[in-house]
Copies of this chain bind each other. A is one copy, B any other.
Amino acid sequence: MNLESPQRLQPKDYASDQEVRWCPGCGDYAILKAVQKTLADGGADPANTVFVSGIGCAARFPYYLETYGFHTIHGRAPAFATGIKLANPALDVWVVGGDGDMLSIGGNQLMHALRRNVDLNILLFNNEIYGLTKGQYSPTSRLGTRSPSTPQGSVDRPVSALAFGLGSGARFVARSFDTAQKHLPEVLKRARTFKGAALVEILQNCIVYNDNAFAHITERDVALERQLFVEHGKPLLFAGGRKGLRVKPGALKLEVVEVGEGGPAAAGVLNHDETDADLAHLLVKLEPPAFPVAFGVIYCDPVESYEAAVHRQTAEVRAKGRAADLAQLMRSGPTWTVG
């Protein structure tokens, strides 16, 4: 179906006519739904929306959306997207890939897209495994992961997607998970409206090769204790408001505190400041059991985006008025006439 106009569309209007080919029960379905909702909520014009992906289960994403889509090669989607955005800054460009695509083979492309702050919405589906190639461990797999390539368990420590993002100079990092059907579209909306490279880590369940990898965080019975939803300006509370995070006195660290009668402020609970890179550093690496996992927009501190700066600079050059006359350019410098 090709859509007529950007008038109010429903989530389902963003679905392409292609059959979705993920395994039944894969977390990718839920993410697809959340993205369709985000597009509909944002009134996205399909004609001006482009999904770019690398290779992997996650990277099949563009086929299922009735927008422009480019399924490229393994690990390089951020670079393709950079070219697209440079060529046409008016497009709303999304990048989708798995933990292998973005952090194994594609770490360099991701780093540089973040560092340059190209205006892209980058969705990293982290299932801590290579799905498409049938279950090898990935750079986000936990120590000791048994997989076809590590039958005795992996011996290398995982990288944290968001710590890597911050280390690379990202100006926007956020986290959500596949089944968070209210939270995820909210986060995606923030990413979409952020003018710059927005890195969103989405914890995603691979039901076939790494089932329940995040059950200890997302299961209903532990959710309250293990999930911290951050919001700019609001106190860092979890466990239904019973607990919060505060600065460990005299140290550069966070600690969990019980919120008593006096409320969060009295307990010294910190307010979330999404523009604070130092706080973001601490938040992205919180982990159970000692801490909850932080979800939401953890860091957001806009600066001029790359393609905007490039086009601004070009406009400045053109404004200075060197004529775009090739014949004249050829005649500049020494010439001579024969005959």
Contact = CB atoms under 8 A, between A and B. Distances in A.
A24 interface: no
Nearest to A107: B108
A317 B304 CA distance: 54
Contacts of A108: 105-108, 111
Contacts of A304: 155
Contacts of A278: 252-253, 281-282
Size bracket, chain A contacts: 35 or more
A105 B117 CA distance: 18
A156 B196 CA distance: 12
Number of identical protomers: 2
Nearest to A317: B152
A155 B314 CA distance: 11
A282 B282 CA distance: 11
Interface string A142-166: 0000000000110111111001111
Contacts of A106: 108
A115 interface: yes
Given A152-B316, A168-B164, A281-B281, A111 B159 contact: yes
Contacts of A309: 155-156
A156 B115 contact: yes
Contacts of A169: 157-160, 163
Nearest to A250: B247
Interface in A141-200: 152-153, 155-160, 163-169
Interface in A287-328: 303-304, 306, 309-310, 312-313, 316-317
Interface of A: 104-108, 111-112, 115-117, 139, 152-153, 155-160, 163-169, 247, 250-254, 276, 278-279, 281-282, 303-304, 306, 309-310, 312-313, 316-317
11 contacts: A105-B108, A115-B156, A115-B157, A115-B158, A155-B306, A156-B306, A157-B169, A157-B303, A159-B169, A247-B250, A252-B278
